[in-house]
Structure 1
Amino acid sequence: MTKLKQMSIFAHIVEEGSVSAAALKLDLSKSVISQHLKALEQELGVTLIKRTTRRQNLTQTGEAFYQSCKEINSIAKGAWESAQNSQIEPTGRIRITAPNALMDTLVVPVIADLMKKHPKVKPELVSDDQPLNLQKHDIDLAVRVGRSQDSNLKQKRIGEFRDVFCCAPSIRQKDLYDLPYIANSWQGRYIQHTFESQSGKTKVYEKEADCFTNSFHSCLALVRSGAGVGIIPDFYLAHIEPELVPMLPNMQLPQNPVYVLNPFSNSTPLAVDLCITALEERLRNRLA
């Protein structure tokens, strides 16, 4: 690292025309610049610059060495500018995970809009109803229901939704406890829901699940077919009614908070920031 720094300083000395001018350019003292040049020449065992009180000239070796040093500075400058420009125009890969229901209705429309506005962004979407480890799966942004206990992740609440206890219209008149319960695997085997009416009256539903699936879409398809009852997010139900209807239309379940998580401890990439803002806005507008 010291050698690279000395080579960079040497290129600046040549380009600025003197040690003094290079010191001014780099905001370093003249003595520091001189020490780096002296150390570089001693390490190489050659003279790079012939200096007098009035001027400096490169030796033949110094001229050849300068060309390489100039390339190092050019590469470093290009890398620096590229990193900074990524915060002006979003570019590159962004890997996002979300539960299936939120991926379909929340994330996909946001990403489609982002791709139209910023064609250099390369999204990778991972739908999974189970929360993925962000480091293990190289995730840049995760959308989750409920707050994560992982203190190493940055997280922000972007909104909320309600699950709706649903069934197919053909079985709506049947007794609630006579109908099989279709559960997503994250719910567990023993189901308990507490409903509340606008007047404050509560109702508790308790039942052992009759059918398990590890996919929201499988759960949705089973409930749609009339195989039983299950919970569907309100924003998703709004797009498929009257195929499914609320089993208890005058009562509702508690709000589910939605969070976004990312593993970036310092500056968040621009593409991730843009996604978070758009996801929050879309959820605030109830995914219209």
Structure 2
Amino acid sequence: MKKLPHMSVFTHIVEAGSITGAAESLHLSKSVVSQHLKTLENELGVLLIKRSTRKHTLTCAGINFYDSCKEIDKITEHAWQQAQALKDTPKGCIRITAPNALMDVVIAPAIGQLLKQYPQLETELISGDTQLDLMSDNIDLAIRVGQSRASNIKQRRIGQFRDILCGTDDLVQKKNINKAVYIANKWQGKHISHNFRDENGNEVHYGTTAQCQTNSFYSCLALIKNGAGIGLIPDFQFNMCKPDLCEVFPRLKLPINQVYALHTHDNYLPSSIKVCIEAIEKRLTKLSTR
């Protein structure tokens, strides 16, 4: 890489026709430009330009070397333009991870619309309740519930939802809830504890033991919908399941869950990631206002 600046200055000398002309186009002093050329010739061990008081003439070695330098300039310019294009036009592959509960209702529909709008955009959606590492797992964008404690992660709040403790109408209305089977996702653990708020803001505690656990949100939802027991699902999922499901405690509310978009970019967020975040935020906002 140390050779490239010398080669670039050499190209400018040839195209400007003189060291003076190259110095003016590069906004450098003539002595600095001369030193670049001298260093280049010394390292190569060949004379590139025959210099006199009146004109500069390329040697045979100089002509061949200039042709190679021009090719490098073209490659450099192409790489520069490609990198800048990513800033303005959503394109390329984006790896997105999100919890199961958010993927099919929020993430996938939002990204599906983007793919129609930006044909050069490619996405890989990774659904799972295990949080992947953005760096080691090469994740471009992570959608998570709750903030990350990692100091190297950039995060932005993009929406919210509330969990609903629910079950089938038949189970909730006709069976003693204290005897109902609690169906838990693995991350909830065995011992279940929920703190609700009533209409006056008073806290109401509900605790039980999970008799059924699953490592998949969709398995948990399927069990609840089939009347196996009660469990938590996000409000936007619950709204889609009505009237098959109903709230266990319709007058009580669980705390709001905040949703964040996480990435590792500092000052320059690629447009591909930016439009994905905006589309997911829009979709989540639309669902939460139903």
Aligned to 1:243: 244
Q: TM-score, normalised by structure 1?
A: 0.96
4+ runs deviating over 4 angstroms: none
Aligned to 1:104: 104
How much has 1:158 moved relative to structure 2?
Answer: 1.1
Q: Verify: 1:155 aligned to 2:182, yes or no.
A: no
Contact 2:158 2:281 in 1 (8 A): yes
Aligned to 2:214: 213
Q: How many residues align?
A: 288
Q: State how far apart, in whole Å, the 1-side matches of 2:211 and 2:24 are.
A: 77
How much has 1:114 moved relative to structure 2?
Answer: 1.2
Aligned to 2:121: 121
Aligned to 2:278: 277
Q: Deviations over 1:120-165 (max 9, x none)?
A: 1110000001211112211000000111111111011111110001
Q: State how far apart, in whole Å, the 2-side matches of 1:228 and 1:62 are.
A: 82
3-state SS, counterpart of residue 252 of structure 1 = coil
Q: Verify: 1:84 aligned to 2:84, yes or no.
A: yes
How much has 1:239 moved relative to structure 2?
Answer: 1.3
Contact 2:111 2:280 in 1 (8 A): no
- Which consecutive unaligned segments of at least 5 residues does structure 2 have? none
Q: State how far apart, in whole Å, the 2-side matches of 1:58 and 1:165 are.
A: 81
Q: State how far apart, in whole Å, the 2-side matches of 1:71 and 1:46 are.
A: 20
Aligned to 1:200: 201
3-state SS, counterpart of residue 287 of structure 2 = coil
Q: State how far apart, in whole Å, the 2-side matches of 1:116 and 1:202 are.
A: 46
CA RMSD of aligned residues (A): 1.3
Range with greater deviation from structure 2 (227-236 or 262-271): 262-271
Q: Deviations over 1:87-125 (max 9, x none)?
A: 111111100000011111111111111111111111000
Range with greater deviation from structure 2 (65-74 or 20-29): 20-29
Q: State how far apart, in whole Å, the 1-side matches of 2:28 and 2:93 are.
A: 38
Indicate the percent of aligned positions where both proteins have the same amino acid. 50
AA partner of residue 142 (structure 1)? A
Aligned to 1:38: 38
Report matched runs for 1:217-228 at 5 Å. Answer: 217-228=218-229
Q: State how far apart, in whole Å, the 2-side matches of 1:82 and 1:94 are.
A: 16
Q: State how far apart, in whole Å, the 2-side matches of 1:126 and 1:41 are.
A: 54
Q: State how far apart, in whole Å, the 2-side matches of 1:231 and 1:260 are.
A: 23
Q: TM-score, normalised by structure 2?
A: 0.96
AA partner of residue 143 (structure 1)? I
How much has 1:42 moved relative to structure 2?
Answer: 1.5
Q: State how far apart, in whole Å, the 2-side matches of 1:103 and 1:27 are.
A: 53
